[in-house]
Chains A and B, each alone.
Chain A
């Protein structure tokens, strides 16, 4: 498609000179962006580049310090969350905003019926939803409860919700993060139909190949500014990546692994559900000097596996062996005593205590040892020294060990967690989504530290929803689907499509679960 022709078709959305400051930080610096009818514009940038702030301004959650927004030629009222909706802009968030215990129809109609009207014409709504779904290939049963839907189906409901409200501009925030490769392909087909019908789409992503596949034009943000704007036909994934990072790409050379003894083993472990799914007879061996990557779509039991290894979830069956010895009474403390370093999935909720200081946070796993306390009294001097050493060794950007962790960026928080987890060279490392939400520089740093730990002989389990990350780092890959594990494959043995099949739960025979 030719980007130029779309511009002539008329601009539907124009953001001009948007600037937003938070204290000394300029989150958006004179960002201008336009969107034409029937156009897909990709908004590309690392976390912290200003994408989310820009969209929050568009949707009235923040008020811009400078700049104007025009929708279909009319200025958009600033700071009013309803203005964007009524102007015909629909947003599909990365984290869905659906009511689980209501049906698809109810979710879509929710909020469109005035409060004072006691009922709504369910059949008319249903018919309209069915028609929209058929038009755009958004297959979903309108009468099912949202809680019974898969992640891909829920996303379709979100898109239908926007279309039902007559959205002419659709904004998708990292829509593929939760999808299998097949579902992603289906989503892209839907997007093609939408723009074919005259809608316009803003596609927010940091995945280059998807941006190249789906968009007509790319706007790259970096550090709150527009780093570049290219029609898709005149650019390459490599150029976009360099625009995103602002220079040469960091590369990670991973040397071949030298697997050692089995340091950690799960045998037919089952757990209660967590994050929607529990483990169902999972067996897994982690060898020293090897990174085992665990791929899977969010909500297939990864959360339960991570919590089990971390010690916060109890198993209902099976056993854990560390260094060949069976361990009973598994808890966070026994995990630590058995030299397991843990990087949790959610930095804010689980990893760090935001309202406590850096020093207080880094000692949270070891405060009881003689290193940090004597006779029930904490040795704050030792804690401060330890914090300072992590700040230095891991290059954490923070004013002092006394700074509150809440004020740090995600990347710096993750470095503190790394420093805490890797302190004392643990034998086994659980890294659950260790780079989610980090910028490229921090991602490279985390990866390098994990490989470094592997090379000194640690057994590492890397749980990630990012297949690229899994493929780059893992010496061995297993796939989790509906609480079960696939067989393991060596680096490069299975293609992305084969892994995708496993992620979707195909070809995962019951017997496979025990074979890993």
Chain B
């Protein structure tokens, strides 16, 4: 078996392989469901119903999708320029830290001023956190995969230290958690009495802005040029290192917004389980979206839906909700394979 590049990609081929990827995902997870002793059809139905079968389910899915949109955008922006930011998790947490530092009473002002201020500070913190790896990469050639990945552990331990020390809530019965943000620092709920908050709107707006940056601006053009062929970009006079640094700032800022939005919109305080790996899942979301910022919204809702749906499903069917992780992982693998097959054709040896 060998791969030959296709002369041109066609919509039909792309759709066919996309459909094949979804089918393969369903078939593979069906097998696991069968092993678990349940009917795949029932399980898939329950997942779909749990993700979008009611207003509650749908709002829950969108709520869960919100941080994934931010981290997905962060990864998509960075990967476009071939800056391998694996550290969205750390940037998310540093954004959350800034939110509780500024939002728990240190500054008193109306929401209209406080929320943008906190947002800016969170983005700045996330941006600066990725600046280090970006400068190490451009100046010394240090692999950013290693530095950003390892920074995740450093930052999470740092947050743990903060929650046991300076940021610890004195009224928290000894739990490692921060004080709650004041009312003026909270993002309002979209629908009264539901969990979905304005962070989701902010995520949609961010996706739109990132789309404009990538498609319409000089910086987006530079980022894509650097990502596709850094040597040619450098030859043409594009300041490759500066572009990578700017990309890092944007990417880090976007990931930090996930932390800001989770704390200010949903949780109200910072705990060590603020993110169940949203930074890493953001990589999955960005890849599923083929690094398209608008696709990130769709992919984030899809992935969130599977997680939310699987939680609901496991309550009624006797299948562990871990099936969601398997489904998402399988979907990623089949989609990445499908994306390659959209560009290459398989030749079987006779």
Please tell me if the beta carbons of B235 and A351 are within 8 angstroms of each other in the complex: yes
Please tell me if the beta carbons of A365 and B232 are within 8 angstroms of each other in the complex: no
**Interface range on chain B: under 10, 10 to 19, 20 to 34, or 35 or more?**
20 to 34
Please tell me if the beta carbons of B238 and A364 are within 8 angstroms of each other in the complex: yes
B166 at the interface (CB under 8 A from A): no
Please tell me if the beta carbons of B235 and A332 are within 8 angstroms of each other in the complex: yes
Q: Could you say which of B4, B8, B221 has the most chain A C-beta atoms within 10 Å of its C-beta?
A: B221
Q: Please report the C-alpha to C-alpha distance between residue A463 and residue B262 in the assembled complex, in whole angstroms.
A: 59
Please tell me if the beta carbons of B237 and A355 are within 8 angstroms of each other in the complex: no
**B216, B229, B234: which contacts A354 (Cβ < 8 A)?**
B229
Q: Which residues of chain B in 212-246 are interfacial with respect to chain A, using CB atoms and an 8 Å cutoff?
A: 216-219, 221, 224-225, 228-229, 231-239
Contact A364 to B225, CB < 8 A, known contacts A312-B235, A332-B234, A342-B235 = yes
- Contact pattern, B 320-331, Cβ under 8 Å of A = 1, otherwise 0: 000000000000
User: Which B residue sits closest to A406, measured CB to CB?
Assistant: B5
Please tell me if the beta carbons of B237 and A336 are within 8 angstroms of each other in the complex: yes
Would you give the shortest CB distance from B2 to chain A, in whole angstroms?
8
Please tell me if the beta carbons of A79 and B349 are within 8 angstroms of each other in the complex: yes
B191 at the interface (CB under 8 A from A): no
Q: Which residues of chain A in 354-383 are interfacial with respect to chain B, using CB atoms and an 8 Å cutoff?
A: 354-356, 360, 364-365, 367-368, 373, 376-378, 380
Would you give the shortest CB distance from B251 to chain A, in whole angstroms?
18
B35 at the interface (CB under 8 A from A): no
The number of residue pairs between A and B whose CB atoms lie closer than 8 Å in the complex comes to 82
Q: Which residues of chain A in 303-344 are interfacial with respect to chain B, using CB atoms and an 8 Å cutoff?
A: 310-312, 331-333, 335-336, 342, 344
- Contact pattern, B 2-34, Cβ under 8 Å of A = 1, otherwise 0: 101011100000000000000000000000000
Please tell me if the beta carbons of B235 and A310 are within 8 angstroms of each other in the complex: yes
Please tell me if the beta carbons of B7 and A332 are within 8 angstroms of each other in the complex: no
Please tell me if the beta carbons of B229 and A353 are within 8 angstroms of each other in the complex: yes
B139 at the interface (CB under 8 A from A): no
* Total A residues in contact with B, Cβ cutoff 8 Å: 38
Contact A364 to B347, CB < 8 A, known contacts A25-B7, A353-B228 = no
Would you give the shortest CB distance from B227 to chain A, in whole angstroms?
9
B350 at the interface (CB under 8 A from A): yes
Contact residues in B for A63 (Cβ distance below 8 Å): 347, 349-350
A116 at the interface (CB under 8 A from B): no
Please tell me if the beta carbons of B233 and A364 are within 8 angstroms of each other in the complex: yes
Q: Please report the C-alpha to C-alpha distance between residue A240 and residue B124 in the assembled complex, in whole angstroms.
A: 68
Please tell me if the beta carbons of B234 and A349 are within 8 angstroms of each other in the complex: no
- Contact pattern, A 138-158, Cβ under 8 Å of B = 1, otherwise 0: 000000000000000000000
Please tell me if the beta carbons of A356 and B225 are within 8 angstroms of each other in the complex: yes
Contact residues in B for A23 (Cβ distance below 8 Å): 6-8
Please tell me if the beta carbons of A407 and B7 are within 8 angstroms of each other in the complex: yes
Contact A350 to B216, CB < 8 A, known contacts A355-B228, A356-B224 = no
Please tell me if the beta carbons of B219 and A376 are within 8 angstroms of each other in the complex: yes
Contact residues in B for A350 (Cβ distance below 8 Å): 231-232, 235
Contact A378 to B232, CB < 8 A, known contacts A80-B349, A333-B237 = no
Would you give the shortest CB distance from A421 to chain B, in whole angstroms?
11
Q: List 6 A-B contacts (CB under 8 A).
A: A311-B237, A353-B228, A354-B228, A355-B229, A377-B218, A407-B8
Interface residues of chain B, those whose CB is within 8 Å of chain A, are: 2, 4, 6-8, 216-219, 221, 224-225, 228-229, 231-239, 347, 349-350
